[in-house]
Amino acid sequence: MAEQIIQEIHSQIQSKKKILATPPQEDAPSVDITNIRMPTPPSYKVGDKIATRKAYGQALAKLGHASDRIIALDGDTKNSTFSDLFKKEHPDRFIECYIAEQNMVSIAVGCATRNRTVPFCSTFAAFFTRAFDQIRMAAISESNINLCGSHCGVSIGEDGPSQMALEDLAMFRSVPKSTVFYPSDGVSTEKAVELAANTKGICFIRTSRPENAIIYSNNEDFQIGQAKVVLKSKDDQVTVIGAGVTLHEALAAADLLKKEKINIRVLDPFTIKPLDRKLILDSARATKGRILTVEDHYYEGGIGEAVSSAVVGEPGVTVTRLAVNQVPRSGKPAELLKMFGIDKDAIAQAVKDLVAKA
């Protein structure tokens, strides 16, 4: 019907003057945003303590030296998310979006169009919930943006529940083709930033406020969908899966349990989506089919449900979950982890209960 419609439009034109529209010139220089690699390996020392939110800022500033196409955006939280480290080193590639998270995500989508830049947005993970519409539409538009949410869970402490991200894993896991990173130390955080820069789709990196020990050597290899066995022995009774602060609580629980002659296998999922189903099942089978998940997140939609859906229908495998079960409150991080039953003592007790059941 095109010709008929064109004729109809032409018949409506009253001016006989010819309008010459010149098509836009393709004069943008070609850029390459593939295979962006860290200029140097991580430089952490096992046992030293650093918050993953700070490791994110350091990693992003470092990656900025590898490519001038890396840009950072923040929602007026740069001294807390540590994106200010990027701003100090690459001021012309930092966009301050202030407390307008929906706008920030939209700007990132704009910056990522036509494969011109690799944007990293950061704010408190809780504040991304108000930009879910923009994140959802970014996924539908097949955009390639990276979002880092800091201050997750009750472990942020005194700031209280309005700042505690306890729904973010559920939200980002539900986004089509998303990748959800949950690094547990400085080394894995740096690797997550590098991997996110080279991964298509919506990437989310969940970072924590407390300082935790470096557990990986600088040459440790990390891949999307590849979990790590952080602790194992020949006679492990239960597979315990934690991430971020709860991984460190699980390692502390292992020390407590050892005194009672109970060994546990401790897994770090690294990515919550995709999840390393094979390693989880192999570990479960080596520990009498018993899995215990522990997370600084609500029960709904987090690590426990991700693991449960991964092993559903597997004979002889049971999943026990520890998570935050109600709206939290302000307090010291250790007090809150204890109050909501996700600290080392709660993990040790849950393991003992599982072993006693047998």
Neighbouring residues of 22: CB distance < 8 A, sequence distance ≥ 6: none
Residues 108, 195: one domain? yes
- Whether residue 309 is contained in a domain is answered as yes
* Segment 293-307, tens digit of pLDDT: 999 999 999 999 999
Determine the Cα–Cα distance for residues 254 and 286; give it in Å rounded to an integer: 17
> Residue 118: enclosing H or E segment and its boundaries?
strand 118-124
Does residue 101 have an active-site annotation?
yes
Identify the domain boundary among 214, 239, 256: 214
Q: Is residue 263 part of a domain?
A: yes
Task: State whether 171 and 241 are in the same domain.
Answer: no
Q: Phi and psi for 18 in degrees, rounded to 5?
A: -80, 135
- Chosen domain end from 181, 214, 247: 214
Whole-angstrom CA distances from 293 to 87, 111, 171, 296, 303 are: 37, 38, 19, 10, 7
Cα–Cα distance list, 11 to 6, 14, 17, 71, 121 (Å): 9, 8, 14, 50, 50
Q: Is residue 6 part of a domain?
A: no
pLDDT at residue 27 in the model? 92
pLDDT above 90: percentage of residues in the chain? 95
Statement to judge: residues 83 and 59 lie in one domain: yes
Q: What pLDDT does residue 19 have?
A: 75
Q: Please, which pLDDT band fits residue 39 given cuts at 50, 70 and 90?
A: very high
pLDDT for position 65: 98
Residues 237 and 101 placed together within one structural domain of the fold: no
Average pLDDT over residues 148-166: 97
The yes-or-no verdict on residue 110 having pLDDT over 80 is yes
Domain C-terminal end among 191, 214, 237 = 214
Question: DSSP letter string over 259-300?
Answer: TTT-EEEEEE-SEEES--HHHHHHHHHHTTTEEEEEEEEEST
| Residues 178 and 259 occupy one common structural domain | no
Shortest CA distance to 267 belongs to which of 289, 285, 291? 291
For residue 8, tell me if it sits in a domain: no
Residue 358 clears pLDDT 80, i.e. is over it: no
CA distance 332 to 334: 6
Residues 102 and 249 in one domain: no
101, 167, 249, 305: the catalytic one is 101
In a domain, 39, yes or no: no
106 and 208 share one domain: yes
Query: Greater confidence, 19 or 270?
Result: 270
Query: Residue 13: inside a domain, yes or no?
Result: no
User: Per-residue confidence at 335, pLDDT binned at 50, 70, 90?
Assistant: very high
Residue 96, SS3 per DSSP: strand
**What is the pTM for the complete model shown?**
0.94
Q: How far apart are CA 255 and CA 250, in angstroms?
A: 9
Return the CATH number at 287.
3.40.50.920
> Total structural domains in the chain?
2
CATH number at residue 182: 3.40.50.970
Same domain, 79 and 143: yes
| Residue type at position 34 | T
Domain boundaries, position 276: 228-357
Chain segment 262-316, per-residue pLDDT in tens: 999 999 999 999 999 999 999 999 999 999 999 999 999 999 999 999 999 999 9
Q: Are residues 150 and 78 in the same domain?
A: yes
Whether 124 maps to a domain, the answer reads yes
pLDDT value for 246: 98
Contact between 154 and 340 under an 8 Å Cβ cutoff? The reply is yes
313 and 167 co-located in one domain: no
Binning pLDDT at 50, 70 and 90, where does residue 4 land? Answer: very high
234 in the same domain as 195: no
Residue 256 lies in a domain: yes
Supply the pLDDT for residue 78: 98
Residues 199 and 279 in one domain: no
**3 state DSSP class of 65:** helix
